[in-house]
Amino acid sequence: MTASRMAPKTAELRSRTALRPDVLAHWYAAAARDLPWRGGGVSAWAVLVSEVMLQQTPVARVLPVWSTWMARWPDPMGLADDTPADAVRAWGKLGYPRRALRLHAAAHRIVTQFDGSVPASVADLESLPGIGAYTARAVAAFAFGARTPVVDTNVARVFARALLGRAHSGPSVTAADRASVEALLPAGPAEAARFSVAVMELGALVCTAGSPSCARCPVRMDCAWHRAGAPAHAGPRRKPQRFEGTDRQVRGRLLDVLRGTAAPVSADDLGRAWTDSEQRSRALVSLLRDGLVEQITDGRFGLAGEGAAPEGSG
Ligand code: SF4
């Protein structure tokens, strides 16, 4: 939702009751998924890793990678001691692998600037590589109990429907959106964090983008969109994101080759991953530019930090 769509509504939103914290807390207690990065005894590092992995990636795909990652690197020091290539390998096929590099860089920063402890303030969290406005607030709220608005696409969509009567939120979350959501947070930090995770879970499980299950929604009686008869989206149609045949797919194929070998590989080896040489070259250049891949002096390629392998190896 854009600033113009939500910001002027703050005072009016406060008077609306569609998203009552007590109703949401009750629903969350009964319906929430039992995810390993939630609940007591989970470290701030574990929460941070989960939030980075969950950016644009479904929970089911994150779960096994997160578990393996946390077993290998239970704290930032362990990851910082290993190489960026180790992080990219462990990232597996989660997609958007620059997140692995940034998480590795964040671990370094946490060790060098914060004595190895994940910082608690939103400002310090936002200073870490790969940690944006949403992730910083999610870690501050869920790991440290801060009262701060945690607004991802799920939360934005629930707010748009339940409070504004719109089928969808805007294309991105703005500072004005966060300010509007903050105005609706319960006063207590713990209650505010529970409210945030409950709205997020409602958006993930019930109020989904494509097919909201209003019949089993705890807030349906007060939801503005449901009460209005579920009017169609008034804005431009959203195109589903394609993956097959895109440069993203080619990048993934090239990384698969490099993840599967401990030594640098030749351009011919990479050529077997994708036949269209022009697209393959474009994808490879983008991987080099992103720092995910390096080229050594004999022309072979390796994962980040592995380009300095001794010549002749492999
Ligand atoms: S009633 Fe339907 S549209 Fe409204 S919040 Fe619930 S699932 Fe979403």
Q: List, for residues 242-271, the tens digit of each pLDDT value.
A: 888 899 999 999 999 999 988 899 999 999
Residue 198 above 80 pLDDT?
yes
The string of pLDDT tens digits covering residues 18-34 is 889 999 999 999 999 99
Consecutive H or E run containing 301: strand 301-303
CB 57 within 8 A of CB 93: no
Measured in angstroms, how far is the CA atom of residue 231 from the centroid of ligand 1?
12
Average pLDDT over residues 84-103: 95
Probe residue for ligand 1, chosen from 16, 153, 158 as the CB with the greatest number of ligand atoms within 8 Å: 158
Is this structure's pTM higher than 0.95?
no
Is any atom of ligand 1 closer than 6 Å to the C-beta of 225?
yes
* Residue recorded with tokens 């949401």: 24
What does the pLDDT read at residue 42? Answer: 95
Average pLDDT over residues 56-71: 96
Domains of the chain (ranges, CATH numbers): 44-117 (1.10.340.30), 247-303 (1.10.10)
Residue 291 φ/ψ region, left for φ over 0, alpha for ψ in the -120 to 50 degree band, beta for the rest = left
* Residue 51 bears catalytic tag: yes
